[in-house]
């Protein structure tokens, strides 16, 4: 099966570079970066296949959703020797497996247990076979331990040098200090690294993300080439221009040749006309993307939600509050999804399990959700903490989870910009009051992310 892809000159320069070397790719929202880096990886493998057929390219993603998308595209394109993984999974399989703490063990994460020191972190893994959270937000013992091993374990260094010709790291703007230091060590081993990211989409500074580090990579002698993907294929061009202006517009900017798509400004008193119009459109809805709903600052947002009777859609708290939410997110997508999600779950998390057994366990869980059935599933995947089972059950039955995992683009709803990252909608409403000031990087990045969720129409609701 082939995937339709006609590369732009910008994309072609990345896919087939004159020289294969460590590089930086700055990719705007909706610029087709995933398709581009996959084809680069396939070309790079083909380039060295005759001389070094044992070499691999690893594409490291920020979330399981991105990892799964890459894996599916690679498979459809018949890509060989390409590994798609999250950063955590890559570290566990290719670095931690060399240590007695992890060797020949099935280790999962415990999102509820927190430790204060690195010694406590190691001891908890040794005693419980689970990786705990770190108490201090900007100290990540997981990546700190990985960095120590890469620097000091000769066996790991030799293995990585033999195994990989290149490692691509997607969403690199969200990396923390230790992840960037790991990248430096990998390059020093002679492995090429391709860093792919968009500093304008850094909205997780509170988790330790360092966008300045990504911006400064162009001055790092280890990276010899910089590429740029500027064209936004997702959004109408007028929406893209608004996002990059970092200014809330004062008047409508409409592309009348393209079904009246573009950017619109409406005051709150007349916005009911917009709502009434979209209620009559069978396949259209409005996604209200806001900075938040709690606190004095966002009392105005709460009034909008109440005025238009908007359901608030948010990722379930058990997922959003965990340090490694990917596996929980996949569990809920499995529960609320259909056959497609079931196949992805089995292929990614239960590859060694007999298909008929896996499907029976999943069917039992979906037909009769219970702690017992969660336990039976966990015997096969070993990813979930016993302490979470009751909360998982409650989340299965919650309206919050049902809304988030069954978002309908034909309805109008409200959600935070943080929750919307990675999603896209036909029509988006932004609240002008949320961006009275765009003086900080955090403000500008939230503005950019919110705007670029819209494909066809972007509305600004002003006082």
- pTM assigned to the model: 0.65
Q: Cβ of 435: how many Cβ atoms within 10 Å?
A: 19
In this model, does residue 205 exceed pLDDT 50? no
- Edge-to-edge strand list for the sheet holding 413-416: 253-255, 261-267, 454-462, 425-431, 287-290, 413-416
- Between CA 376 and CA 455 the distance in angstroms is 42
Q: How high is the pLDDT of residue 3?
A: 58
Q: How high is the pLDDT of residue 90?
A: 93
Average pLDDT on 104-114 reads 77
Average pLDDT on 57-83 reads 87
Lowest model confidence (mean pLDDT) among 200-214, 308-322, 371-385: 200-214
Q: How high is the pLDDT of residue 30?
A: 77
Q: How high is the pLDDT of residue 326?
A: 72
Q: How high is the pLDDT of residue 236?
A: 87
Average pLDDT on 73-78 reads 90
Average pLDDT on 280-295 reads 86
SS (H, E, C) the chain: CCCCCCCCHHHHHHHCCCCCCCEEEEECCCCCHHHHHHHHHHHHHHHHCCCCCCCEEEEEECCHHHHHHHHHHHHHCCCCCEEEEEHHHHHHHHCHHHCCCCCCCCCEEEEEEEECCHHHHHHHHHHHCEEEEECCCCCCHHHHHHHHHHHHCHHHHHHHHHHEEEEEECCHHHCCHHHHHHHHHHHHCCCEEEEEECHHHCCCHHHCCCHHHHHHHHHCCCCCEEEEECCCCCCCHHHHHHHHHCCCCCCCEEECCCCCEEEEEEECCCHHHHHHHHHCCCCCCCEEEECCCCCHHHHHHHHHHHHCCCCECCCCHHHHCCCCCHHHHHHHHHHHCCHHHHHHHHHHHCCCCCHHHHHHHHHHHHHCCCHHHHHHHHHHHCCCCHHHHHHHHHHHCCHHHHHHHCCCCCCCEEEEHHHHCCCCEEEEEEEHHHHCCCCCHHHHHHHHHHHCCEEEEEEEEEC
Q: How high is the pLDDT of residue 296?
A: 58
**b/e map of 174-211 (b: 16 or more CB within 10 Å)?**
bbbbbbbbbbebbbeeebbbbbbbbbbbbbbeeebbbb
Q: How high is the pLDDT of residue 320?
A: 75
In this model, does residue 194 exceed pLDDT 50? yes
- Over residues 416-441, the pLDDT tens digits come to 998 887 788 999 999 998 998 888 88
In this model, does residue 85 exceed pLDDT 80? yes
- Between CA 424 and CA 287 the distance in angstroms is 9
Average pLDDT on 99-110 reads 83
Asked whether 425 and 409 are in contact (CB, 8 A), the reply is yes
Residues 6 or more apart in contact with residue 339 via CB below 8 angstroms: none
Average pLDDT on 268-286 reads 89
Average pLDDT on 84-104 reads 91
Q: Is 385 left (phi over 0), alpha (psi -120 to 50) or beta?
A: beta
Average pLDDT on 60-68 reads 79
Average pLDDT on 227-238 reads 85
Pairing state of beta strands 82-86 and 261-267?
unpaired
pLDDT confidence of 1, banded at 50, 70, 90?
very low
In this model, does residue 357 exceed pLDDT 90? yes
Average pLDDT on 76-100 reads 92
pLDDT confidence of 319, banded at 50, 70, 90?
confident
- Over residues 166-189, the pLDDT tens digits come to 999 998 887 888 899 999 999 999
In this model, does residue 17 exceed pLDDT 80? yes
- Over residues 371-402, the pLDDT tens digits come to 999 999 998 888 888 888 999 999 999 988 99
Average pLDDT on 260-271 reads 92
């Amino acid at each position: 099966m082939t995937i339709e892809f006609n590369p732009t000159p910008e994309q072609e320069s990345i896919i087939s570079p004159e020289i294969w070397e460590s590089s930086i790719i700055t990719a705007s929202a909706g610029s087709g970066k995933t398709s581009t880096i996959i084809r680069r990886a396939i070309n790079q493998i083909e380039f060295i296949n005759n001389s070094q057929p044992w070499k691999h390219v690893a594409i490291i993603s920020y979330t399981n959703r991105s990892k799964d998308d890459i894996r599916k595209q690679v498979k459809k394109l018949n890509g060989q020797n390409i590994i798609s993984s999250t950063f955590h999974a890559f570290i566990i399989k290719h670095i931690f497996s060399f240590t007695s703490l992890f060797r020949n063990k099935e280790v999962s994460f415990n999102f509820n247990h927190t430790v204060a020191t690195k010694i406590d972190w190691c001891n908890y893994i040794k005693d419980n076979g689970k990786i705990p959270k770190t108490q201090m937000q900007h100290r990540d013992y997981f990546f700190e331990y990985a960095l120590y091993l890469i620097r000091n374990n000769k066996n790991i260094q030799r293995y990585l040098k033999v195994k990989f010709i290149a490692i691509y790291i997607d969403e690199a703007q969200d990396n923390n200090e230790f992840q960037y230091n790991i990248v430096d060590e990998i390059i020093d081993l002679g492995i090429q690294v391709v860093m792919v990211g968009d500093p304008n989409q850094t909205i997780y500074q509170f988790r330790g993300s360092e966008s300045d580090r990504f911006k400064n990579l162009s001055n790092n002698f280890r990276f010899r080439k910089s590429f740029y993907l500027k064209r936004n294929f997702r959004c109408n061009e007028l929406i893209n221009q608004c996002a990059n202006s970092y200014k809330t517009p004062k008047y409508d900017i409409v592309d009348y040749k393209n079904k009246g798509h573009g950017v619109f400004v409406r005051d709150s008193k007349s916005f009911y006309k917009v709502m009434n119009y979209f209620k009559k459109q069978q396949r259209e809805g409005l996604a209200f993307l806001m900075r938040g709903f709690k606190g004095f600052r966002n009392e105005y947002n709460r009034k909008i939600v109440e005025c238009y009777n908007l359901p608030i859609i948010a990722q379930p708290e058990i997922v959003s509050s965990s340090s490694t939410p990917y596996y929980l997110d996949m569990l809920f997508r499995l529960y609320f999804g259909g056959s497609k999600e079931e196949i992805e779950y089995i292929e990614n998390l239960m590859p060694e399990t007999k298909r008929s057994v896996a499907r029976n366990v999943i069917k039992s869980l979906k037909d009769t959700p219970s702690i017992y059935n969660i336990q039976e599933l966990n015997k096969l995947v070993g990813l979930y903490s016993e302490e979470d089972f009751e909360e998982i059950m409650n989340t299965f039955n919650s309206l919050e989870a049902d809304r988030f995992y069954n978002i309908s683009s034909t309805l109008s709803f409200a959600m935070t910009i943080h929750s919307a990252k990675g999603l896209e909608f036909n029509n988006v409403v932004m609240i002008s009051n949320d961006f009275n000031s765009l003086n900080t990087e955090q403000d500008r990045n939230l503005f950019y992310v919110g705007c670029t969720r819209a494909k066809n129409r972007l509305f600004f609701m002003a006082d």
